[in-house]
Structure 1
Amino acid sequence: MKLERTDPRSYTPLTEEERRRRAESTGGEPMLDFDVTNDSESTAYIGYHHVDVLLGLQHPRTGEPAELSFYITGQIQELLFKLLFTEVNRIRDLLFTDSLDEALRYLRRVERVQRVLTTTWEPVSTITPTEFAAFRDELGSASGIQSYMYRQLEFALGNKAPRMTEPYRPVGWAYEQVMAALRAPSLYDAALGVLQRRGLGVPAHCVERDFAEPYQPHAAVEQAWARVYQSPREHPDVYALAESLSDLNHLHAQWRYTHLLTVERILGHKPGTGGTSGVNWLRKVAEHRFFPELLAARTAI
């Protein structure tokens, strides 16, 4: 809906009643008093961040106030998934060139982003069962399992599962992106390449494989990580890499568990959207860990 343009220099704040009417008339879109698509009525900040576009992407479908918290949180998470996917691939490529110092620097950034991602569940956790029920039907078959950005992130971290590409097949462009992430080497594939080039006994078939297939743990890889932990002064940068990957694993698990607890608080044991079993399905997902031998080595040491 295009609003009547006014001169921003003569802007006066809207009254509470005017804000309510404006919100109702725009279906929840930003309450702008002038046309920000006109360059002369924008600012450098708006133009750089495309704030007008960003704030025009929220379209709640009901009058339930809590829906906006749910809506915006989902969009924020998608943006953070994109950031994490980009940074994880950057780190992977740095590991392939043995640029461990730089890779570790970017892993510190990933850690910060992951912590922010987990806190995004906080607004959603305040939604009561009654509030969620007021807009849940509008979701239809929509489910987080359909997030192609999140699926690409999981693949980039090494959780390769070809069957998980199926939800995207009806959407050609999304399916192509997800398939490309499935076929690409993961962060863990790159880390194993580092171990092999350091002469830590990683078999060739563990690094030269079909990256689209699920990774199969190997005892020699577990032993390689154990050697790194037992001799940290001999392999200080690889030791630091092992701990950074462990932090990544830990923080991703925290995000999954927080998701589980949030859904449990709102839905109880109702079935989830998108055909999942809800909390039971999320609990199974939350048990998954990346970098299997890195975790197993802790038991062996």
Structure 2
Amino acid sequence: MTDPYNPARDGAQMSFDGRMSYTDYLGLDAVLDAQHPLSTAHDELLFIVQHQTSELWMQLALHELHAARDTLQAKDIRPAFKLLSRVSRIFEQLNSAWDVLRTMTPSDYTTFRDSLGQSSGFQSAQYREIEFLLGNRNVAMIRPHAHRPDLETRLRAELDKPSLYDCALARLAQAVPLPEAALARDLTKPHQPDETMQAAWAKVYRDPAQYWDLYELAEKLVDLEDYFRRWRFNHVTTVERVIGLKRGTGGTGGVSYLKRMLEVELFPDLWHLRTKL
């Protein structure tokens, strides 16, 4: 009988007294001690972990989106393509998480729903910042964060900056002449379909070889919104499956509110131009 395999014989580090370990580096004591169910219901831990991990993925998405926006304002925009692709993959990961949450039945959810009080994903400051950064801006959506001056300040600061799509339009204007008025807009408002912008993007799509960087940028943005829309749709489906048409814990219409969000277009010109090509 052979002895059990000992990784130390192959040089694996086995002693961490006073040295950084995996747990230390990742701060796992804090991360794994951040789940505090308020009921005895079995499925409450699933609900908490689902939302906490979603917030971690959104933190990474914001990290990548801020970098992508900075890159679009630099000389070479091509490094932004990788960043945007990564955000699309993040939303693919977030999409898969709904499959786990959907294993929770309406009966399971009712055993702890009252413990949530008025808390709701509607109040996610990171999700709101992602929407603002991508261009879906609504000052009224800052109000749920008024009790946290740090979060309110961060969201208001985002509204003072050009959105990711604003930066894409600025790069478009460098290659395809646009009237000054076409780029002048209230940064606190969401993007609306614009015939001038669609005509400019159509020029890019009709000659990809000449405008390859812009062409690829446009497709990366469409890809990102595609995954974002799927995430929203899966959110609606999951909520309807679990609570039906009840109001959300945060006071929204629940499914009716989420269905309204499905109509939002982040980069409207890139979708509308397709009909004209």
Asked whether the two chains share a fold, i.e. TM above 0.5, the reply is: yes
Residue 217 of structure 1, CA deviation? 3.3
Residue 41 of structure 1, CA deviation? 7.9
**Corresponding residue to 1:278 among 254, 258, 261:** 254
1:172 is aligned with what amino acid?
P
Residue 100 of structure 1, CA deviation? 2.0
**Corresponding residue to 2:48 among 48, 51, 71:** 71
Moved over 3 A (4+): 39-43, 205-210
Distance in 1, Cα, partners of 2:29 & 2:213: 44
Distance in 2, Cα, partners of 1:230 & 1:271: 47
| 1:237 and 2:223 are equivalent in the alignment | no
1:291 is aligned with what amino acid?
F
1:247 is aligned with what amino acid?
D
Number of residues of Structure 1 aligned to a counterpart in Structure 2 = 262
Give CA-to-partner distance per residue, 1:103-151, whole Å, 9 cap, x none: 1121221121111111111221111111100100011111111100110
Deviates more, 1:66-75 or 1:41-50: 41-50
| Partners of 1:192 and 1:202 within 8 A in 2 | no
The match for 2:238 is 262
The match for 1:80 is 57
Give the structure-2-normalised TM-score: 0.90
Residue 168 of structure 1, CA deviation? 0.8
The match for 2:181 is 205
Highest RCO, 1 vs 2 (Cα 8 Å, sep ≥ 6): 2
**Corresponding residue to 1:130 among 107, 115, 140:** 107
Q: Which runs of 5+ in 2 are unaligned?
A: 1-15
Deviates more, 1:78-87 or 1:48-57: 78-87
Distance in 1, Cα, partners of 2:106 & 2:181: 50
| Partners of 1:98 and 1:194 within 8 A in 2 | no
Residue 212 of structure 1, CA deviation? 2.0
SS at match of 1:142: coil
1:298 is aligned with what amino acid?
R
SS at match of 2:37: coil
The match for 1:170 is 147
Q: State, as a whole percentage, how many aligned pairs show the same letter.
A: 38
1:114 is aligned with what amino acid?
F
Distance in 2, Cα, partners of 1:66 & 1:211: 42
Task: Trace 1:184-203 onto structure 2 (pairs within 5 A).
Answer: 184-198=161-175, 200-203=176-179
Residue 42 of structure 1, CA deviation? 7.8
| 1:41 to 1:132, Cα distance in 2 relative to 1, 3 A | farther
Give the structure-1-normalised TM-score: 0.83
SS at match of 2:112: helix
Distance in 1, Cα, partners of 2:109 & 2:95: 20
Q: Which runs of 5+ in 1 are unaligned?
A: 1-38
| Partners of 1:152 and 1:182 within 8 A in 2 | no
Residue 201 of structure 1, CA deviation? 2.9
Residue 249 of structure 1, CA deviation? 0.7
The match for 2:156 is 179
Distance in 1, Cα, partners of 2:222 & 2:189: 23
| 1:139 and 2:113 are equivalent in the alignment | no
The match for 2:37 is 60
SS at match of 1:120: helix
